[in-house]
Amino acid sequence: MQSMTKRLFDESNHESMKKRIAVVFDSAGTLLHMYRVAKDMSSGSILENIQTTMLVAERANRALVVLRTRFEDMGLCDPEMGLHDFIAMHKIRLSISCSSSPFIIDDVYDIIRNTPIKVSDINDVVSLVKGRCPDIYYIAAGLVVDSSDKIVPYVLSTGGQAYSRTSETIGLLRDMGADIYIASGDDAQNLSFLASSLDIPWKDVFAVATTHDKERIVLDLKKAYDIVFMVGDGMNDILALRAADVGVLTAQQGDERPQILKDAADIIIDNIIDVVDIIKKMPVCVTS
């Protein structure tokens, strides 16, 4: 990922004066209410309303891997086809969204190659998400990969739509003079629709951002702004929450959060609109 500092200052013509406030939002679970499903590959059982990052955090040497694919292609191919063969045939790109230990993408391909995961396993979770959320506009699928046991313990899918007050929140923050950014592990296709619906310029959206990417984004923004807020909801936001001037953990999704994540945040909120009141109380003035 390119240097966020260079990107910011190049696009602002190397302004010497710092701007006032930047607010960085995660997407899934923060701006979007998510429905998440996982299939336990050891038993075939379906787990609903889970927090995918917690499946990674429960053991060392695990990673959450996102499949960058068109699900229409999966629906049209032989469901008995091995996932590795499907990935090779369609040149599917994999990316690591978060991990509990350092992880190399080449190891992911090797593990998938040697596991019995089929296209049908991915179709199972994607179909369930679509069935539960018929009006959903965001859909993604992925795997939890374990490099110690060389297995894929879970396949999973997520879908979501904006919280009822997400658009209002972004509009009020913009009216107050804050600059809005999105830093998310989600891919560009899903994030482009979200950014467009919220009138956030694409240059201010960081797609496929890992835990460490989010931290770097916040640290780079701190060089350009007086105060940087990070608003997130999951373990993949923990480093960015710590790095921000103000880390805001949102509990609106309703999932249980580990204490280490709560401790990383300065403030915990129950509704995304609460970010507006928090910023109003900051000592750095914003435009009224």
Whole-angstrom distance, CA of residue 210 vs CA of residue 99: 9
Residue with tokens 């249980």: 256
CA distance 256 to 51: 8
pLDDT at 218: 98
Given phi > 0 = left and psi -120 to 50 = alpha, else beta, which region is 96? beta
Q: What is the pLDDT of residue 140?
A: 85
Tokens of 57: 């955090």
At 110 the three-state DSSP class reads helix
The residues, any chain, with a CB within 8 Å of residue 263's CB and separated by 6 or more, are none
- Sole residue written with tokens 């300065």: 266
Beta bridge mates, 118 = 82
Integer angstrom CA distances of residue 239 from 142, 242, 264:
22, 5, 8
What's the pLDDT at 82? 94
Per-residue pLDDT of the chain (288 residues; tens, 9 = 90+): 545 545 554 544 444 466 799 999 999 889 998 888 999 999 999 998 887 878 998 899 999 998 887 777 777 889 999 999 999 998 888 988 888 888 889 999 999 999 999 999 999 999 998 888 766 767 889 999 999 999 999 999 988 888 999 999 999 999 999 999 999 988 787 788 899 999 999 999 999 898 999 999 999 999 999 999 999 998 889 999 999 999 999 999 887 788 999 999 999 999 999 999 999 988 765 554
In terms of C-beta density within 10 A (0-12 exposed, 13-18 middle, 19 or more buried), how is residue 247 classed? buried
Tell me if 265 sits within 8 A of 161, measured CB to CB.
no
**Using CA atoms, how far apart are residues 271 and 251, in angstroms rounded to an integer?**
7
The Cα–Cα gap between 48 and 271 comes to 23
> What would the two tokens of residue 19 be?
């701007």
Long-range contacts of 6-11 (CB under 8 A, 24+ apart): 7/203, 8/220, 8/221, 8/223, 8/224, 9/224, 11/203
User: Token pair of 58, please?
Assistant: 């429960």
Residues 6+ apart with CB under 8 A from 171: none
Pairing of strands 225-232, 179-183: unpaired
